Structure 1
């Protein structure tokens, strides 16, 4: 029995890239830190919210490369001589990866009360109707 994939299905032409995206998504290896929400804010916009308590704007980096949104956090080392009796606030670096569909762009990001909000927007797709001329086999 052969395995049917998106790239080999006879009616799905050119979807090999989608299959690669699904594989990359499965390998992203996101752990549970930091926790996040994804909400749909309108028909064509979304908001990713990460709980980044203890991080400043300078400790965070947001990049987009090859339709992949990457959010990294790295806190600077605390050089003071603090003595903790209990340390329950995580002070560790993180990396969160989100794959974005074609046409989805990052509209902006903001910090508010220990939450990082990343807003995404999907562009209105352009509707194209194309008529294909059929050539006669005699004109070769």
Structure 2
């Protein structure tokens, strides 16, 4: 368990984040990489040798991406002298930041690649706001006065 006492004392409203960090424990299998390909493009690559496309499921529930693999039971009885391949069912969850969307996934040579893109809505992007200044009162009064005809 991690110790966040000093952060608890100096922050307000981040208790859920610290609870999530305290309780986060990822299984060691299957191994994975998280890669940043560009400013808004990411890829998760998982080594899932022995699984076919029909045995792996991806689902996104709000900010959580869940990758699960269900291996069908072996139809034939085999006798192993050594069993070193970890071909077993798994479920791995990844917490995604705001506006992150899974745009595609491929399974090639036992490597599952999941492409994720940050798509920030236009209204949420930073924008410059112009500041107007009021006219001085003397100029406004001059405009309101009727002009004398010459």
TM-score (norm 1): 0.75
Aligned to 1:4: 9
1:49-106 Cα offsets, whole Å, 9 max, x none, are: 0000001111111111130111111101101022212111112111111111111111
- The 1:130/1:121 distance shift into structure 2, 3 A limit, reads same
Distance in 2 of aligned mates of 1:22 and 1:106: 26
Higher-helix-fraction structure:
2
> In the alignment, does 2:87 pair up with 1:88?
no
Q: Is the 8 A contact 2:49 2:87 kept in 1?
A: no
How many residue pairs get aligned? The number is 122
* Long gaps (5+) in structure 2: 131-150
Q: Is the 8 A contact 1:25 1:99 kept in 2?
A: no
- The 1:38/1:53 distance shift into structure 2, 3 A limit, reads same
Aligned structure 1 segments of 4 or more residues deviating by more than 6 angstroms: none
* Long gaps (5+) in structure 1: 9-15, 132-140
Q: Is the 8 A contact 1:30 1:95 kept in 2?
A: no
Q: Is the 8 A contact 1:47 1:118 kept in 2?
A: yes
Aligned to 2:27: 31
| Counterpart among 99, 106, 129 of residue 102 in structure 2 | 106
> In the alignment, does 2:78 pair up with 1:79?
no
